[in-house]
Amino acid sequence: AQSVTQLDSHVSVSEGTPVLLRCNYSSSYSPSLFWYVQHPNKGLQLLLKYTSAATLVKGINGFEAEFKKSETSFHLTKPSAHMSDAAEYFCVVSNTGNQFYFGTGTSLTVIP
């Protein structure tokens, strides 16, 4: 069985400060993990993915995530938040490529 838990439903940061969005996963096999971003009234866009290569994954727009098997975590970080980062973020797990399990999402607010 696979599942994802996003530990914070809402995160607020000031512009220019670091962002941390937390994700824990459960998977019976070696998982592939993803972060997607959804801006208001838009579809989802892939930020980054981990598919058993390097454990530190770099994505678009300055985001990174680190796969930690011992902690079953895949937290998303960014050193300096920008106003345009305000959006909903989803952590996703898959081990087959045809079934994807989404977390419930974290809403990121960036305060000017």
Partner 1 sequence: DAGITQSPRYKITETGRQVTLMCHQTWSHSYMFWYRQDLGHGLRLIYYSAAADITDKGEVPDGYVVSRSKTENFPLTLESATRSQTSVYFCASSGPGDLYEQYFGPGTRLTVT
The span from the CA of 31 to the CA of 40, in Å, is: 29
Written as six digits, the tokens of 89 are 């973020």
Please, which residue, 84 or 99, has the CB nearer to partner 1? Answer: 99
105 binds partner 1 (CB under 8 A): yes
**Closer Cβ to partner 1, 73 or 94, answer by number:** 94
Residues in the interface with partner 1 (CB under 8 A) total 21
Nearer to partner 1, 40 or 112 (CB): 40
Residues 25-64 vs partner 1: string with x where CB under 8 A?
-------x-x-x-----xxxxx--x-x-------------
Task: Name the phi and psi angles at 57, rounded to 5.
Answer: -110, 130
Closer residue to partner 1 (CB): 17 or 104: 104
3-class DSSP string for 5-39:
EECCCEEEEECCCCEEECEEEECCCCCEEEEEEEC
Binder among 63, 90, 108, 110 for partner 1 (CB under 8 A): 90
Q: What single DSSP character describes residue 1?
A: -
**How far is C-alpha 101 from the geometric centre of its chain's CA atoms?**
13
- Token pair for 33: 């993990």
In the complex, the residues that contact partner 1 under the rule CB under 8 A are 32, 34, 36, 42-46, 49, 51, 90, 94, 97-105
